[in-house]
Amino acid sequence: MVPMNAVLLLSFLLFALGVAGVLIRRNALIILMCAELMLNAANLNLIAFARHSGTPAGQAFALLVMGLAAAEVAIGLAIVVALYRKKDTVQVDDINLLKG
């Protein structure tokens, strides 16, 4: 059985990389991918705890998260395409319509 600590560490490192990517990158596409990475890190934890406790609940929840991630990507990419058509950019700091 894979030790729990290794799973938790991997999951945390993936999540930290995702947070760092969302905070530092300017490209909206890469920000979306980093959000996906964070969801995957959470999924890894859910599956590890499901394995640990021997119940299928965590895995069912991970499957729901996966479906939600797919919905999020569809909407996010549609927004990116619409943004590119309107503003001709995908760099998030060029989009400052609401800036006071």
Partner 1 sequence: MEAILSRSATYLFLLFGFIALGGAASMVFARNAVHSVIGFLVAMLAVAACYLTLQAEFLGVAQILVYAGGIVVLFLFVVMLVELTKFKEKRLFQIQTPWAVATVLVAVAAFGGVFWKTLFGPAAVEPLTLRPELAEGLKVAEQNAQALSRGLYADFLLPFEILSVILLVALVGAVVLAKTERV
Task: Please list every residue from 16 through 55 that binds partner 1, using CB under 8 A.
Answer: 16-21, 23-27, 29-30, 32-34, 36-37, 40, 43-44, 47-51, 53-55
Q: Are 73 and 30 in contact (CB under 8 A)?
A: no
DSSP type of residue 88: S
Decide: is 87 part of the binding site for partner 1 (CB under 8 A).
no
Alpha-carbon span 96 to 2, nearest angstrom: 47
The only residue of 35, 42, 75, 100 in contact with partner 1, by rule CB under 8 A? 75
Encode burial over 84-100: b for 16+ CB neighbours within 10 A, e otherwise: eeeeeebebeeeeeeee
Could you say whether residue 95 binds partner 1 (CB under 8 A)? no
Under the binding rule (CB under 8 A), the answer on residue 97 touching partner 1 is no
Nearer to partner 1, 31 or 100 (CB): 31
The only residue of 69, 97, 98, 100 in contact with partner 1, by rule CB under 8 A: 69
